[in-house]
Homo-oligomer: A and B are copies of this chain.
Amino acid sequence: MPRRIVIIGAHAAGLDAASAARKTDRTAEITLITEEKHAGYSRCGLPFVIGGQIPSFNDLIVFPQSYYQMMKLTLKTETKVTKIDTGKKAVETVDKTGKTEEIPYDSLIIATGASAFTPPIKGREKQGILPLRTLEDGEKIDQAIKNGAKTAVVMGAGLIGLETAVALQERGLQVTVVEMLPQVLPAMLDADMAKIVQEMLQQKGINILVGKAVEEFLGTEKVTGIVAGGEQINADLFISAFGVRANTQLAVDAGIALGETRTIKTNARMETNIKDVYAVGDCAESTHIVTQKPTVQQLGTVAVRQGKVAGINAAGGYALFTGVLGSAVTQLYDTQVGVTGLTEAAAQRARIETVTGTITSKTKAHYYPGAKPIKVKLVVEKELQRIIGAQIMGGEEVTQRINAVSFAIQKQMTIRELAKADTAYAPPLCETWEPIVLAAEMALMKLR
């Protein structure tokens, strides 16, 4: 009898799990179940459809119908899993017509993801508070712009908040971003780096209020304004970018344990505490490569990597997930911003003593026309002098610099080794002394 693999969720984590399972076991029956109408699209692309860079929301559908056929995957959309029965090894579902079904499994992969979250603020039951999590969310925002929205308030200055703010401003709206914490991108950048991003966004015309919590939603049935830091701000469009919460209720109800991050606890094979049940993606916990502590990084790259590991294991193979560094990057107008490992602030919270090295340089030889600025901040653990984090921003070539430092962190490179590193150079492509290496030299000077 073929192995039955059931996957709850059909985006990055779920689909990479399904693909890996299929490659591991050619005969398994693999079923993907999602509540959404569309499966296998890129959430990360949503702001760029709104901004107009990507022509259509349908372009984001990474896995077309033919993929499921080719890979022999059964996809059930608009179908809700109502219960996981780990004793019976089955899930109970209900589809949009109300039809219920019990689907047995040999291996179960929970990839239920996370949902946009609006804190318990007075008036949050009012209509018109739009998140940007699903394709339908994106279509609603797009429709509101087409219907004539001229002003917007984006609540939250994380990655999604800022990417959406930029997209709205590119569509001609007057945009205000409200952030409770005293800086933009608080999970990604230290205050010194965040300040530069904030100033850049302000210069582009986005109004940014940091250190101001949203206190109330105003309006009768529909929201027409907010109160933040005592100030009233009216707008046509209200984007909820406060953050996301892992969808764990189904797992909790089934007796599957959560970890200290309140997401599903997993081991290196992405197994939960229940035999033959795996968890991956935004709902799953993993280990931070630097701190070796539980962490949850709700990133597409983590989702696909975890999905692959769980898929192999669920199909009878053997694979380990070696942890996360939280490498992430974004593009805001012409500025690329990236991070890997710990920020200075995160290191402090983890009680790691650090020194930092920061440098501003150019992306090409300074005499080569078109050179763009680039700024590198390295975070170094003080005693063993290992690199544990980097924040980089610039006009180009940020992503792969983040990857380069990520590799260095993963291989426990010391700041002395980095200051000696062999790098590539050509006048149209970089400076003779690579900015990462110069930043290492700056950190070293503080350690001498």
Could you list which residues of chain A lie within 8 angstroms of chain B, going by C-beta atoms?
12, 42, 44-45, 48, 53-55, 59-60, 62, 289, 299-302, 304-305, 320-331, 336, 338-340, 365, 367-369, 396-408, 410-413, 417-418, 420-430, 432-434, 436
Contacts and interface: CB of A to CB of B under 8 A. Distances in A.
Top-10 shortest CB links A-B: A400-B400, A411-B411, A404-B404, A327-B424, A329-B424, A325-B422, A402-B424, A59-B367, A331-B428, A399-B429
Nearest to A367: B59
B368 A422 contact: no
Given A53-B428, A369-B53, A403 B436 contact: yes
Contacts of A305: 420, 422
Nearest to A305: B420
26 contacts: A44-B365, A44-B425, A53-B369, A62-B367, A300-B425, A304-B432, A323-B422, A325-B422, A326-B422, A327-B424, A328-B424, A328-B425, A328-B426, A329-B426, A330-B429, A340-B424, A400-B430, A402-B423, A403-B423, A403-B436, A404-B404, A405-B407, A406-B422, A407-B408, A407-B413, A411-B413
B365 A45 contact: yes
Nearest to A163: B426
Contacts of A369: 53-55
B432 A368 contact: no
Contacts of A321: 420
Given A54-B368, A300-B425, A403-B400, A420 B331 contact: no
